[in-house]
A and B are shown apart, each in its own frame.
Chain A
Amino acid sequence: MRDLDTHARNDWCPGCGNFAILNAVKAVLKELNEAGTPLDDIVLVGGIGQHAKILDYVNVNSFYSLHGRAVPAAEGIKLANPRLKVIVFSGDGDAYGEGIEHLVFAAKRNIDLTVIVHDNRVYALTTGQSTPTSPRGFKSRSTPGGTLDRPLNPLELMLASGATYLARGYSGRLPLLKDLVKAAVLHRGFALVETLQVCVTFNNLYDYYGKHVYELQGHDAADREAARQKIREWDYDSAAPIALGEFYKTAAPTFDEQFLKGGGR
């Protein structure tokens, strides 16, 4: 198998949660390749932010898009060549702020994409401003007095929008994260892995997450109502148990299949 590393120097901070995502993805690509998917058929798409540097670090096809604009580009790639496996990397500012309309519509279409959100709950590339998932009262370089608005629960929004695979991973639990990324990539339809990815420089939540996260046991991911309840257990604001794992998984017709069957109408 080809070396998955590129000649680019890795510029993430030591201890950055992005390393866990990079390692999970490389492991998944290796397994997919061993199971018969050519690496030539993989396309990684990213927005702009610390998350997107991952495109420079993995030696496969990639589309380094604009801030907030990874998802619509990924949809075009999938519709142009449905054989391609398209994996989107996006940040919380990128996916849930600047590009949220695209995310909602991609979920609504149930187009066959995997979206991995590197949710560090802070703008790191621009050195520390609040994002849509920052907790209320978050003191940042754009909100020195603390944010006034409540955070968005992205999984709740994605469930309402029509996503057919929803999971939460954590950069501190690599084996689970790898399994979730693989399941999302193998899922046919719109899959999103909301990943609690710790920014060691601007929002170090390792201790906080260490105290609150737990892995889902005995949860029926086919049960939409049960999924909704589990997703609402933690609202990204209050101190509540933070579930990790698959919340929701269902089979539904995908946009790309129907679109290409209908001659592209």
Chain B
Amino acid sequence: MSAEPSRQAPETSVLIGGRAGYGIDKAGMVIAGFLSRLGYRLYIYRDYPSLIRGGHTFSIIRAAQKRIAAHRDQVDYLLALNQETLELHRAKLQPGGLVIYDSDSVKSDGIGVPIGSLLKEAQAPEIARNTCLLGAFARAAGLDWALVEAVLRENMPRELEINLAVARRGYDAVRPAAALQKFDQPALPVLTGNEALAQGLIAGGLQAYVAYPMTPSSTILSFMAEQAEERGLKVVQPESEIGVMLMALGFSYAGNRVAVGTSGGGFCLMTEGLSFAGMAELPVVIVMGQRTGPSTGLPTYTGQSELQFVLNAGHGEFPRFVVAPGDAEEAYYWSAVALNLAWQFQVPSFVLTDKTMAEGIFNFDLKAVKPLPAAKSAVWDGKAPYQRYADAVSGVSPLAFPGAPEAIVKINSYEHDEAGLTVEDAAVTKRNADKRRRKELALLEELKNYEAVKTYGRGETALLCWGSNKGVCVETAEKLGWKVIQPLVLAPFPAEQFKAALKGVKKLICVENNLSGQLVKLLALNGFSVAASVNKYDGRPFALGELEQKFK
């Protein structure tokens, strides 16, 4: 890509970096706003340390004419608020790419902007340095001032005037250098994977959300808390994840559709409650956002090392539903579905994400989401005596909630009779285990109505991926003329759909962000094998060029 004006590039990438606390996230959203209004589709990769102030943080805003869900390691614009940004990322600059930097604090080639002096002129605070650099970027990229102003108005409602003044000074300090191509398509909203997921849960009929803060799922809690009043949601932050899970089961028992959200460490604490949900047949949705483990690991970085944990968590044998969405629309759709299936089959239901999925920023096109299937659940007909665990062919007993007239609703963590009273009888123990197993088979049957395994493109070689690796795999496979197979549902495993997806494939390569190949293990259990695996487990997601290199 060259830096000539009126470039014809079908895509562009902008990296902005500085110290944590410089407002890099906000700057990323403003750049996303600029590019959206030029008709681009976007994906933002956010990289930040587990700190509030200090430490290096950066975002890569990648924009293209078509929908994307992955970042590229080569950038066209490098926006440096400090020297460290330049040193760390200079190698990512494409030939002909531009460095735009604060000439008062950074030594570099490229377009220098004396941000310190410009801020002084405008009597603006230090925190506005990012806005000044954004103004300079906008001018260098050939944007009209009117567009810049509109985007700032949208993204910086507080301190708008001073930000506009600072951006204008940055804008006027440079000349157009590498004008961006425009596309004639309307802007799409941009949101994080977590926001899409939360909106999906709400669309699916969520009534309560219970969580203890933990990266990368904390922003679901804050989103739900902000939405609570308008949407009539009950949002609670209990004392621990143990409290979270049990409180959620209380909500579920009393008739509220409820979800919890956490990451691996918090989920460890929830597992006794999970097993309880399995035994008591209490529906609940668990959003499990993976990060780099084991233990505290890298709190703000990514990983896919908890698939086997989620598939196997909790003592004893009980059915569960696990789905791993790969982009914002899938997060929205499948979160609603996960909620519905939890209540339809009275099982714990997981939405498995990771930091890349949860905190990555995507375009979101509600029109591209399939209509949500109607919620189905077995409801008690009101004829007493009510039996919470009435035996049924499908394994699913009719639901009633306490407070309903003449329904004595007894749930139990012990093995129990149909009325819910404790028993240790051998025949009942076996009958109930079989009942729970039948629910799993019924759920598997229900999944035939869903696209539980997706494929993209054609080819004898196929990339196999799950969750957030969808975006990078689809683009890489397009370029290589390969197929992509993405199992969305991981439990109960949709083996028939997976087998159909394999049709015509001679070589299957699995791409995962873990060391041991956790999807490969799941496939082996189901009688499928892969030819090769590409594993990355350094806390960072695959970048587009990086994954392609693995196949050269």
A residues sitting closer than 8 Å to B (CB atoms) are 6-8, 38, 40-41, 43, 45, 48, 53, 55-56, 59-66, 69, 72-81, 83-84, 101-102, 104-105, 259-260, 262-265
Contact = CB atoms under 8 A, between A and B. Distances in A.
Nearest to A260: B234
Contacts of B236: 79, 259
A26 to B, nearest CB: 15
A75 B408 contact: no
B251 A40 contact: no
B403 interface: yes
Interface string B404-442: 111111111110100111100000000000000000000
Nearest to A264: B234
A168 B405 CA distance: 34
Give the 10 A-B residue pairs with the shortest CB-CB distance, closest first: A76-B250, A80-B254, A264-B234, A263-B229, A72-B246, A61-B402, A76-B247, A73-B250, A64-B412, A80-B256
Contact of B246 (A61, A65, A79, A262): A65
Contacts of A81: 254-256, 401-403
A61 B238 CA distance: 24
Nearest to A80: B254
B402 A79 contact: no
A78, A79, A80 — which one has the most chain B CB atoms within 10 A of its CB?
A80
A38 B272 CA distance: 33
B233 interface: yes
A65 to B, nearest CB: 6
B402 A77 contact: yes
Contacts of B240: 101
Contact of B248 (A48, A76, A78): A76
B447 interface: no
B319 interface: no
B402 A40 contact: yes
A260 B251 CA distance: 14
Contacts of A104: 239
B408 A59 contact: yes
B152 to A, nearest CB: 30
Contact of B403 (A6, A40, A56, A73): A40
Nearest to B257: A80
Contacts of A65: 246, 249, 276, 413
A80 B208 contact: yes
A67 B494 CA distance: 36
A40 B235 contact: no
A43 B249 CA distance: 14
A123 B228 CA distance: 42
A259 B237 CA distance: 12
Contact of A72 (B207, B247, B255, B401): B247
A34 to B, nearest CB: 18
A83 B255 CA distance: 13
Chain B at the A interface: SS class: mixed
A79 B236 CA distance: 9
A259 B234 contact: yes
B509 interface: no
A102 B241 CA distance: 11
Given A60-B408, A64-B410, A83-B403, 6 more contacts: A41-B402, A62-B409, A66-B276, A81-B403, A102-B239, A260-B234
What is the interface residue range for chain B against chain A?
35 or more
26 contacts: A7-B419, A40-B406, A40-B407, A41-B403, A43-B402, A60-B408, A61-B402, A61-B407, A61-B408, A65-B249, A65-B276, A66-B413, A75-B238, A75-B247, A76-B210, A76-B250, A79-B251, A80-B254, A80-B255, A80-B256, A80-B258, A81-B254, A84-B254, A84-B402, A264-B229, A264-B232
Interface of B: 207-208, 210, 225, 228-230, 232-236, 238-240, 242-244, 246-256, 258, 272-273, 276, 280, 401-414, 416, 419-422
A56 B422 contact: yes
Contacts of B230: 263
B208 to A, nearest CB: 7
B243 A72 contact: yes
A64 to B, nearest CB: 4
Nearest to B401: A81
A264 B238 contact: no
A81 B208 CA distance: 12
Given A72-B247, A73-B247, A76-B251, A40 B228 contact: no
Contacts of B421: 6-8, 56
A264 B413 contact: no
A130 to B, nearest CB: 23
A101 to B, nearest CB: 5
A6 B423 CA distance: 13
User: Among A53, A65, A105, which residue has the most Cβ atoms of chain B within 10 A?
Assistant: A65
A69 B238 CA distance: 13
Contact of A73 (B249, B255, B404): B249
A102 B240 CA distance: 9
Contact of A265 (B235, B272, B276): B235
B238 A105 contact: yes
A78 B229 CA distance: 19
Contacts of B416: 64
Contacts of B419: 6-7
A102 B247 CA distance: 10
Contacts of B414: 64
Given A7-B421, A63-B411, A65-B276, A74 B250 contact: yes
Contacts of A262: 229
Contacts of B234: 79-80, 259-260, 264
Most buried by B among A69, A84, A104: A69
Nearest to A55: B410
B431 to A, nearest CB: 18
A199 B242 CA distance: 29
Nearest to A70: B246
A75 B422 CA distance: 23
A53 B410 CA distance: 13
Central interface residue in A6, A59, A72, by most chain B CB within 10 Å:
A72
A265 B229 contact: yes
A74 B249 CA distance: 9
A46 B111 CA distance: 69
Contact of B243 (A79, A105, A263, A264): A105
Interface centre among B207, B210, B246 (most CB of A within 10 A): B246
Contacts of B403: 40-41, 61, 81, 83-84
B246 A80 contact: no
A65 B410 CA distance: 11
